[in-house]
Amino acid sequence: MKKISRRKFNQSFLKGVGIASVATTLPAACAAGIGATDGKKLGVALVGLGGYSAGQLAPALQDTNHCYLAGIVTGTPEKEKIWADKYNIPKENIYNYENFDTIVKNNSIDIVYVVLPNSMHADFCIRAARAGKHVICEKPMAMNVEECDAIIAACKKAKVKLGMGYRLQSEPYTQEVKRMVREKTFGDIRYITAEAGYFSASNPNQWRLNKALSGGGALVNMGVYAIQSAIYGTGENPVSVSAQEFSTRPEYFKETDESIAAQFEFPRGIVGNIFTSHNVNVNSMYVGASKGWFELRPANSYGPLSGRRSDGTEIKFSHESQQKLQMDDFAQHIKEGTVNRAPGEMGKRDMIIVEAIYRSIREGGKKIPLDLGRMGIV
């Protein structure tokens, strides 16, 4: 992922090539043909060829059963040939940020996966929807709730499917957590803690440190995993949150949060205690219930995950690429109408929580009420 080109693009985006004005000259999507693939693999175009696309998504899309890597969209011209050669991508399926909207004419692309810096999510998700493509948006969904609404509205209008890149929603440990919660394997849940973070020091120029690109620090990058764990680990949305920010390297994290703790209250009194950080490797979730407990450690890495329960049972599944599972789940959702495991509303809900956490921090740790109902719970 080439930093400068991204920043350059983003700056032009921030200067006014905004959501409302982008792609307005494009025709509304014709979604009729999409999904009617008669069992064929759906074509996926990755937008943004940074570390996650190169290291995780592209390899995973070589193993998927219901979709495949059909195209790329990159702001770095020198990546075009490298990717074309490596993944056998035809020239007509290669786009840059400027000509991206012409993807509307390309019938071999069914799904656009936006893997760009956070500030570019809304723009490209909306443009993809307007081009009639189903959309997967990497987390966090956008810079704020307003942008999430715009993405959701655009996909609704274009009658395309919208999914979040919440890979864990498709992998078996998380499914097992959801099963134990649903079936009350250990009785009533009373407490959940979740941690998601890593030590970040290698690259002071990384885009995540730039708030105009990232929208936030540890919370939007890793904290969303902890938020997700708190919700699928209880089966409920929180009704309030309080939060605190911690800083040890202000010279490095000039604009973005380094570490954040947040406390949730859930409807029936479950307490949630989450922590996220760009200063320490943490990766776990623990659920305390009336008849026992279970935990995953790690809980949100690319895997293999690992878990144990208070009855001595190990939680163990054979490992498959989470990205592969996620992509196939989304493709099947399109092709076969299976459940969308990570719909746009889930991303929006998490952004509402993110905004409440930042607000609590600004207000000195004050408890912020949340009125989410069952939003985003699948």
Q: Which residues bind a second copy (CB under 8 A)?
A: 190-191, 193, 195, 199, 242, 244, 246-249, 259, 261, 263, 265, 268-269, 271, 273, 275, 277, 279-282, 284, 286, 288-290, 293, 364-367
Cβ(276)–Cβ(219) below 8 Å: yes
Nearer to a second copy, 136 or 368 (CB): 368
Q: Where are the beta strands (DSSP E) in the chain?
A: 42-47, 67-73, 94-95, 111-114, 134-137, 162-164, 189-197, 240-246, 259-265, 271-277, 282-289, 292-296, 307-309, 314-315, 368-369
- State the minimum distance, in angstroms, from the CB of residue 189 to a second copy: 9
Q: Are 42 and 334 in contact (CB under 8 A)?
A: yes
- Nearest approach, Cβ of residue 241 and a second copy (Å): 10
Q: By C-beta, is 176 or 195 nearer to a second copy?
A: 195
Nearer to a second copy, 207 or 266 (CB): 266
For a second copy, which is the closer residue by CB, 144 or 242? 242
- Beta-carbon contacts of 251 under 8 Å, excluding residues fewer than 6 positions away, are none
| Sign of the dihedral defined by the CA atoms of residues 52, 54, 55, 56, in that order | positive
Query: Is 27 or 267 the residue whose CB approaches a second copy more closely?
Result: 267
Cβ distance to a second copy smaller for residue 186 or 330 = 186
Please state, as a whole number, how many other Cβ atoms lie within 10 Å of the Cβ of residue 68: 17
Min CB(26)–a second copy separation in Å? 47
Cβ 185 to a second copy shortest distance, Å: 15
Q: Which is nearer to a second copy, 188 or 336 (CB)?
A: 188
For 145, the enclosing helix (H) or strand (E) is helix 145-158
**Eight-state DSSP code of residue 63:** T
Length of the chain: 378
Is the CB of 97 or the CB of 253 nearer to a second copy? 253
- The distance of closest approach from Cβ of residue 280 to a second copy in the complex, given in angstroms and rounded to an integer, is 4
- Residue given tokens 């993807």 in the structure block: 103
Report the nearest approach of a second copy to the CB of residue 249 (Å): 8
| Rounded distance between C-alpha atoms, residue 48 and residue 346, angstroms | 22
197, two tokens:
């973070």
> 266, 234 in Cβ contact below 8 A?
yes
- Nearest-approach distance from CB 266 to a second copy, in angstroms: 10
CB of 199 to a second copy, least distance (A): 7
